């Protein structure tokens, strides 16, 4: 849920609200993204040069949002891959049709599963941490193809072109969760009811300890390859994340104080 402050989760046990991990990380420095945004605008200007024709109205229509349009498009690619992996795990088959790029990424997912004999134990788990909530992609049991060792990893799937330190912070936060919530059918013993706007939207959740895992990994899926990447220095990246969590809280306090002064 959102209240104008980015994505907010609601704890189904006590209805308390918590900012999402990704919302907190929006406060990290974005110098690299500023350059990337300018590049995408210039790229679209070249692509649409004939259409724009020097018309200021058309220029202002297309160029200011070129980078966000591209970002949303790429987000759609990743969402489709995530949804397909989850649907196959849950055998729900509730996902939209994939395009050629997404199908190529799914081929790399299947290749990873074959090579690592990977099995999803849990998928799309909502977690509660110290002042934040989030959703992790999966706990995966796999066999190391080099050592034969059986391992369980907390895994996040990424389809972006590059992997950034923000991704490591995100995983470090999720790895330090205090508990997880799983959505269950109505009538499940011990489940908490999360009220929707109408009864049909009500959902039911159970709170559980975080499952055991040996390591934290990023599975980077691209059209032509996959990489199974260690999230290193989890403790240090979590310390860095906590700095941004506290910064987010201060920013919210300032917003609230200004609202109260009006």
Number of neighbouring beta carbons within 10 Å of residue 224 = 8
| Phi and psi torsions of 158, nearest 5° | -125, 135
For residue 97, what pLDDT is reported?
A: 81
Could you tell me which residues come within 8 angstroms of residue 161 by beta carbon, excluding any fewer than 6 positions away? 222
For residue 151, what pLDDT is reported?
A: 98
Spatial contact of 177 and 127, defined as CB atoms under 8 Å apart: yes
Which tens digit of pLDDT belongs to each residue from 228-243? 999 999 999 999 999 9
For residue 4, what pLDDT is reported?
A: 47
Radius of gyration of the chain (CA): 21
Distances 259 to 95, 140, 253, 255, 262 between C-alpha atoms, Å: 41, 45, 10, 6, 5
* H or E element at residue 106: helix 100-116
Does the pTM of the predicted model rise above 0.75?
Answer: yes
* 113 exposure class (CB count in 10 Å sphere: 0-12, 13-18, 19+): middle
**Confidence category of residue 27, pLDDT binned at 50, 70, 90:** confident
DSSP 3-state percent helix, strand, coil across the chain (nearest 5): 45, 25, 30
Which tens digit of pLDDT belongs to each residue from 92-136? 766 668 889 999 999 999 999 999 999 999 998 899 999 999 999
Q: Of the candidates 128, 123, 137, 125, which has an alpha carbon nearest to the alpha carbon of residue 8?
A: 128
């Amino acid at each position: 849920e959102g209240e104008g402050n980015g994505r907010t989760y609601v704890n189904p046990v006590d209805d308390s609200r918590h900012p999402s991990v990704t919302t907190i990380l929006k406060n990290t420095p974005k110098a690299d993204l500023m350059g990337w945004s300018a590049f995408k605008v210039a790229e679209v200007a070249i692509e649409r040069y004939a259409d724009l024709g020097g018309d200021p109205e058309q220029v202002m229509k297309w160029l200011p949002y070129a980078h966000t349009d591209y970002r949303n498009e790429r987000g759609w690619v990743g969402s489709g891959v995530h949804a397909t992996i989850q649907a196959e795990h849950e055998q729900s088959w509730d996902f939209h049709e994939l395009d050629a790029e997404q199908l190529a990424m799914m081929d790399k997912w299947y290749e990873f599963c074959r090579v690592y004999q990977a099995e999803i134990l849990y998928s799309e788990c909502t977690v509660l941490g110290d002042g934040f909530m989030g959703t992790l992609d999966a706990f995966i049991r796999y066999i190391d193809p080099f050592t034969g060792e059986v391992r369980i990893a907390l895994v996040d799937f990424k389809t972006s072109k590059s992997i950034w330190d923000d991704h490591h912070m995100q995983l470090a936060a999720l790895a330090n969760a205090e508990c997880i919530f799983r959505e269950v059918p109505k009538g499940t013993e011990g489940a908490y009811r999360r009220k929707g706007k109408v009864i049909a939207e009500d959902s039911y959740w159970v709170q559980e300890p975080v499952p055991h895992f040996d390591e934290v990994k990023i599975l980077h899926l691209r059209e032509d390859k996959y990489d199974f990447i260690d999230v290193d220095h989890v403790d240090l990246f979590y310390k860095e994340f906590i700095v941004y969590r506290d910064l987010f809280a201060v920013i919210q306090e300032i917003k609230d104080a200004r609202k109260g002064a009006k």
